[in-house]
């Protein structure tokens, strides 16, 4: 009686859709019940695959409705042909499904391989990065160690060079106490002194600092100016307000006063006299120069003669060099002219060479680009050819296997057909022989009873009795056989319906259709054996493909 409105839809609060109970009339088979195997999450909501399955089931039911009855040999042959065609279509559809499943598995394998390759590459990169980092750390540590050793060796060499001759040097106490880095203030542990062992010696122990009575005595001895500090506030250098704020005019006055005082200090600054030297400085005397060597003065005549000879030598040497240069010039006159023309045209030639060089570089770049494009095109063509050849070889190998299996199945079918015909021939011969024996016995019996009076009446009576008894017996046997088969079929159907899948349901329908034809039972069993053998081969092929892919 109370209606409420919520903010949520039923689909958001409901887990699985509600399926109400239903009652099916005995004379009707609704199409919706054929989809009873589909549940929520397993086929529902229906997708493209479920719609295709429903359409195939409808087409199959329509095809079953068009099958001819089993009332004549021609209808039986037509029915057999239609069933063979349907079986071929089902085999083709199953092959397509198997190929789709194989393609999906191959795609999944490719994705898994690609992911594994990416993970492996990432692991390799991280491993290489870690190794590189370790190598860099080891290298840095090695460099630091080398630098430390280098500094140590340099200090040792400097210490050795201070006393090369090995003289004994007295200790300079003043220098040790003036240098706070000497052994007096900071002795080294390698000499045998450890300052931390006797650290308590440096602790200040005082009665006035360590005891309360001493502190009270020290505080009483100190004047009041030490214990009671009186701090006076500094007087402001400029005018301020009541709140303590300095005005801009006061700040400017203070700055001007500071500048004025600085200028006065600089103006009235007196130069400080030089301080006398604190320590005496030793002035080293320069090293005396060696005496200048002197030469004896030659005579004037000898000096003039020597100068004349030197001038004559210079003239002769200059003339000889001039003659040699003239002869070389005459010999290489053509070369000189060629060089002059070359130097005159050198700038133009350089410009031409530069232009040719640029043109050559441009052509080379164009050639490289062209070769790069050609290599890319060749690589793409090679990839396309390889892919096409691989697909073609794969298709041919699959076709070869399929043809081999078809020929094998055809050979098995021919052998089975031949065996069936041989059995039918033997059975027909046996029946003919029995018919001939029966005719002979009937003839003998007819001749024996020929003399009796009511031969025809007895024959008709016996014939009526035999026919009625045969009809009754056949009818009872047929009813019993039908009831027994119906019970067995119902039990098998209920059991299989509880645990069957979509493919098994299709196989059950196909087997029920085939079971109406008694001559086809043996053929169906043989086809089932062939299917099982093919299943083994398909599983083996899948295992080989998966192992090769891995």
Cα 495 to its chain centre, rounded Å, is 49
User: How confident is residue 110, by pLDDT bands cut at 50, 70 and 90?
Assistant: very high
Residue scoring higher pLDDT (257 or 224): 257
Separation CA 397–CA 545 (nearest Å):
13
360, β-bridge pairs: none
The candidate with the shortest Cα–Cα distance to 36, out of 513, 500, 510, 512, is 500
Separation CA 450–CA 444 (nearest Å):
10
* Residue corresponding to tokens 């053509």: 334
The pLDDT tens digits of the residues spanning 79-101 come to 888 888 888 988 998 899 899 99
Separation CA 42–CA 44 (nearest Å):
6
Highest mean pLDDT among 65-69, 73-77, 143-147, 446-450 belongs to 143-147
Half-sphere exposure of 168 (CA within 13 A, CB side): 1
Helices (H), 66-178: 73-162, 173-178
Separation CA 473–CA 516 (nearest Å):
22
The pLDDT tens digits of the residues spanning 481-494 come to 888 887 887 777 67
22, two tokens: 């239903």
Separation CA 505–CA 346 (nearest Å):
98
Residue 446 is predicted with a pLDDT of 76
Separation CA 1–CA 3 (nearest Å):
7
The pLDDT tens digits of the residues spanning 333-392 come to 888 777 777 666 566 767 777 888 888 888 888 888 888 888 888 888 888 888 888 888
The pLDDT tens digits of the residues spanning 297-346 come to 777 888 888 888 989 899 998 899 988 888 888 888 888 777 777 666 56
Instruction: Give the phi and the psi of residue 268 in degrees, each rounded to 5.
Output: -90, 15
Q: In 3-state terms, what secondary structure has residue 53?
A: helix
Residue 248 is predicted with a pLDDT of 79
Residue 52 is predicted with a pLDDT of 84
Q: Is 276 left (phi over 0), alpha (psi -120 to 50) or beta?
A: beta
**With contact defined as beta carbons under 8 Å apart, do 250 and 238 qualify?**
yes
User: How confident is residue 141, by pLDDT bands cut at 50, 70 and 90?
Assistant: very high
User: How confident is residue 114, by pLDDT bands cut at 50, 70 and 90?
Assistant: very high
**pLDDT at 150 > cutoff 90:** yes
Separation CA 20–CA 38 (nearest Å):
15
Going from the C-alpha of 174 to that of each of 178, 183, 214, the distances in angstroms are 6, 13, 39
316, two tokens: 């002769």
User: How confident is residue 113, by pLDDT bands cut at 50, 70 and 90?
Assistant: very high
The pLDDT tens digits of the residues spanning 414-460 come to 888 888 888 888 888 888 888 888 888 888 877 766 655 555 666 67
What long-range pairs does 96-105 form, CB within 8 A, spacing at least 24?
A: 98/538, 102/542
DSSP string, 324-343: HHHHHHHHTHHHHHHHHHHH
545, two tokens: 């493909």
User: How confident is residue 3, by pLDDT bands cut at 50, 70 and 90?
Assistant: low
């Amino acid at each position: 009686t109370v209606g409420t409105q919520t903010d949520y839809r039923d689909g958001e609060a409901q887990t699985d859709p509600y399926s109400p109970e239903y009652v099916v009339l005995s004379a009707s088979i609704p199409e919706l019940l054929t989809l009873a195997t589909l549940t929520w999450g397993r086929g529902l909501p229906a997708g493209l695959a479920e719609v295709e399955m429903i359409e195939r089931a409808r087409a199959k039911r329509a095809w079953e409705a068009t099958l001819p009855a089993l009332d004549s040999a021609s209808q039986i042959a037509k029915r057999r042909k239609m069933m063979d065609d349907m079986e071929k279509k089902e085999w083709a559809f199953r092959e397509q499904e198997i190929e789709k499943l194989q393609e999906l598995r191959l795609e999944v394998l490719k994705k898994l391989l690609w992911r594994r390759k990416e993970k492996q590459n990432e692991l390799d990169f991280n491993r290489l990065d870690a190794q590189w980092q370790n190598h860099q750390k080891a290298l840095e540590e090695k460099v630091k160690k080398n630098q430390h050793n280098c500094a140590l060796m340099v200090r040792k060499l400097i210490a050795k060079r201070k006393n090369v001759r090995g003289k004994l040097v007295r200790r300079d106490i003043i220098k040790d106490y003036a240098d706070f880095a000497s052994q007096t203030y900071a002795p080294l542990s390698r000499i045998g002194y450890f300052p931390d062992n006797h650290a308590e010696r440096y602790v200040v122990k005082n009665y006035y600092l360590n005891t309360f009575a001493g502190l009270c005595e020290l505080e009483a001895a100190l004047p009041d100016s030490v214990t009671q500090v009186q701090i006076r506030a500094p007087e402001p250098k400029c005018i301020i307000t009541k709140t303590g704020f300095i005005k801009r005019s006061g700040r400017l006055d203070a700055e001007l006063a500071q500048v004025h005082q600085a200028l006065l200090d600089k103006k009235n600054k007196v130069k400080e006299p030089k301080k006398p030297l604190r320590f005496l400085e030793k002035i080293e005397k320069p090293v005396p120069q060696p005496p200048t060597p002197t030469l004896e003065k030659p005579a004037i005549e000898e000096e003039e003669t020597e100068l004349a000879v030197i001038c004559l030598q210079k003239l002769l040497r200059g003339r000889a060099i001039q003659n040699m240069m003239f002869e070389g010039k005459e010999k290489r006159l053509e070369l000189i002219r060629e060089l002059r023309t070359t130097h005159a045209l050198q700038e133009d030639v350089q410009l031409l060479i530069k232009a040719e060089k640029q043109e050559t570089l441009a052509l080379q770049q164009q050639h490289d680009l062209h070769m790069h494009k050609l290599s890319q095109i060749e690589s793409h063509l090679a990839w396309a050819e390889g892919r096409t050849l691989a697909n073609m070889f794969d298709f041919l190998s699959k076709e070869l296997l399929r043809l081999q299996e078809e020929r094998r199945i055809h050979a098995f079918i021919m052998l089975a057909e031949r065996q069936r015909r041989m059995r039918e021939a033997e059975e027909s011969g046996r029946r003919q022989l029995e018919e001939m024996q029966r005719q002979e016995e009937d003839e003998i019996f007819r001749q024996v009873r020929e003399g009796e009076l009511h031969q025809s009446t007895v024959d008709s009576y016996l014939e009526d009795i035999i026919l009625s008894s045969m009809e009754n017996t056949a009818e009872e046997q047929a009813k019993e056989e039908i009831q027994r088969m119906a019970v067995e079929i119902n039990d098998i159907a209920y059991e299989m319906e509880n645990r069957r899948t979509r493919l098994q349901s299709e196989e059950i329908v196909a087997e029920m259709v085939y079971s109406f034809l008694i001559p086809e039972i043996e053929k169906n069993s043989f086809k089932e054996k062939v299917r099982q053998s093919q299943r083994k081969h398909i599983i083996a092929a899948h295992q080989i493909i998966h192992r090769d892919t891995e």
